[in-house]
Chain A
Amino acid sequence: MELSVIGNSSSAADSAAGGCSAGSCGSTDDQLAHLPEHIQEKVHNHPCYSEEAHHYFARMHVAVAPACNIQCHYCNRKYDCANESRPGVVSELLTPDQAVKKTKAVAANIPQMTVLGIAGPGDPLANPQRTFETFRQLTEQAPDIKLCVSTNGLALPACVDELAKHNIDHVTITINTVDPEIGAKIYPWIFWNKRRIFGRKGARILIEQQQKGLEMLVERGILVKVNSVMIPGVNDQHLKEVSRIVKQKGAFLHNVMPLISEAEHGTFYGVMGQRGPEPEELQDLQDECAGDMNMMRHCRQCRADAVGLLGEDRGEEFTLDKIEAMDIDYDKAMKVRAAVHAGIEQELAEKQAKKARLSSGAVAEEPAKQYRPVLMAIATSGQGLINQHFGHAKEFLVYEASAKGVRFISHRKVDQYCIGNGTCGEKESALAGSIRSLQGCEVVLCAKIGFEPWEQLEAAGILPNGEYAMEPIEDAVRAVYQEMIATGAFDKTRPGMAEGRLSSDAQAIA
């Protein structure tokens, strides 16, 4: 495995952004501190961008944009499976009126909902009427909801002025490459100027429009996040270059996501056997691309119509017929929402203050630098607590404990395709999938765990721990790390760890 020192490839961008290189920020509390104030203000209660906030606030997406103007090799427009959970897959298409109604219903019932996004199932900007009608109505009727939109970027330059009008402060552009050669391996065709354009020529146009759109948004002071799909052997190394360029141009986040590729999905990559990245590969690249932007890792690849706190889908409660039956007094709801938001802000502030007090003490009493960092996986359903049963976890939060403190690393999704309907997956493979997704972790903290998974985890060299049920994640991770030091866990070499990944901190020390 290649070990490169983080921050090297993007040192220019890093120092421009405040001189805090990846991994050395220590505790995750500082994640927003280096950003300019107006950006902090915009992102601090956005669940996709803020580590703290994503435990408390919620977002939703409405599916109003079915049409798309490009083809990506990781997408299959036919696919729609109720058990599937990845971007671009939705079950219920809404008209703008229905979407507005649904948004208001959810906002009234889940006051934590602060962000409404349009992400698909096609490209929002390839459906300008439907997308902008939804935004226009919401800006008018529900001014306390933030709006965001994600796009492939092809139609972006043409839409920037319209976007600016609707007061949208977050735009996500999916940029997988800046090289038409590589682009041709990702995008077989685009629809441009009334024609379908294939291969390199199409990819070149797409790349030009993406870059132009990015620049135009930044000029207008609209926040831009860039998403990239990591496709091993296609753009994995190249994404470092992408990262450098988009940050230089003013994107405030660069988020690398794994390719999801199963033959069952019928995508080009799926059928051709293109693999997705291993969790460790993904994390290495994320570390390299993150720069000082650690908090972006909270963004998940959520269902385009997901409702509820991040990672938890409450869409079932808000189907069309159920919404029709609801009578929403939004003015009243807005007052309740404001009160709930104030309460959460206060709780966050108190937590922050408490952590500031605690972090003044060292993590370990002994000179801890000789101990390697440890990755721990957490099963949680929110609130920043260890409160989920291992078997119920659809994803794990991975934290790193080291001499420098505790920091959030990533989300690891568990492969859970179609569990339960018996047609396309088995229970055993679900457990195996969970364990595979925990690769590189040494401990898994959960509220409860069954006997069988316990044994298998142990066999895989991962220590299950249910002793910190209902306790705050970071405190528990810190405590377990200290226990490991106290019980001499680091004196033994761990099988399989010899060539294991070193975190940035370890490299910095070494």
Chain B
Amino acid sequence: MALSIVESCVNCWACVDLCPSEAIYATSTHFKIAPNKCTECEGDYANPQCASICPIEEAILDSLGRAMNPAGSLTGISPEKLEAAMQEIQAR
């Protein structure tokens, strides 16, 4: 059981300082979670700390590959709204 960080991570460091298991490490592209170290914070905290502070939706996945913070859950911008705004910008 371990979470994972994927490429949408923006390297903001917020999760690194909080991890009780020192499972999070920097790489040349983005932060990653060492699966053998990650405890999903069990025994330390009620909620996985990395996923509780990460500001980027869909950057951290659970052990089944589902986003801990799905699109729209943090920014309040629904995926449709974001898509529409991006299209409008590109059309300019």
Taking Cβ atoms with an 8 Å cutoff, the residues of A that contact B are 66-69, 71, 73, 77-78, 121-122, 126-127, 129, 188-189, 191, 194-196, 263-264, 266, 268, 270-272
Is there contact, CB below 8 Å, between A77 and B74?
no
A78:B14 contact, CB within 8 angstroms:
no
* B46 contacts partner chain A, Cβ-Cβ < 8 Å: yes
- Distance (whole angstroms) from the CB of A154 to the closest CB of chain B: 12
Q: Which residues of B contact A (CB under 8 A)?
A: 10-14, 16-17, 45-47, 49, 52-53, 55-56, 74-77, 81-82, 85, 88-89
| 23 cross-chain CB contacts under 8 A | A66-B12, A66-B14, A67-B14, A67-B16, A68-B12, A68-B14, A69-B14, A69-B53, A77-B10, A77-B12, A78-B56, A122-B12, A122-B13, A127-B17, A188-B74, A188-B75, A191-B52, A195-B47, A263-B88, A268-B75, A268-B76, A271-B81, A272-B77
Chain B minimum-CB-distance residue to A66: B13
A220 to B81, CA, bound (A): 47
- The answer to whether B74 and A194 have CB atoms under 8 Å apart is no
B76: which of A66, A67, A68, A188 is its contact (CB, 8 Å)? Answer: A188
Q: Given A67-B14, A127-B13, A272-B77, are A264 and B89 also a contact pair (CB < 8 Å)?
A: yes
- Chain B positions within 8 Å of A127 at CB level: 13, 17
Most chain-A CB neighbours within 10 Å: which of B52, B55, B56? Answer: B55
Please list the 5 inter-chain residue pairs (A to B) with the smallest Cβ-Cβ separation, ordered nearest first. Answer: A67-B14, A66-B13, A271-B85, A191-B53, A196-B52
Q: Is the CB of B88 within 8 A of A196?
A: no
Contact A194-B49, Cβ < 8 Å, known A67-B17, A271-B77: yes
| Complex contact B11–A66 (CB within 8 A) | yes
Choose from B17, B47, B75, B85 the contact partner of A196 (Cβ within 8 Å): B47
Give Cα A196–Cα B69 distance, bound, in whole angstroms.
Answer: 11
> Are A263 and B12 in contact, CB atoms less than 8 angstroms apart?
no
Q: A266–B83 Cα gap in the complex (Å)?
A: 11
Q: Which of B55, B75, B77, B85 is A68 in contact with, Cβ under 8 Å?
A: B55
Tell whether, in the assembled complex, residue A271 and residue B82 are in contact, meaning their CB atoms are under 8 Å apart.
Answer: yes
Docked CA distance A129–B82 (Å): 36
Which residues of chain A come closer than 8 Å to B53, judged between CB atoms?
Answer: 67, 69, 191, 196
Residues of B within 8 A of A77 (CB): 10, 12, 55-56
Closest beta carbon of chain B to A206's beta carbon, Å: 15
Q: A189 CA to B74 CA in the complex, in Å? A: 7
Q: Are A122 and B14 in contact (CB under 8 A)?
A: yes
Closest CB in chain A relative to B38 CB, distance in Å = 17
Q: Closest chain B residue to A128 by CB distance?
A: B17
Question: B8's closest neighbor in chain A, by CB?
Answer: A78
By a CB distance below 8 angstroms, the chain A residues around B77 are: 268, 271-272
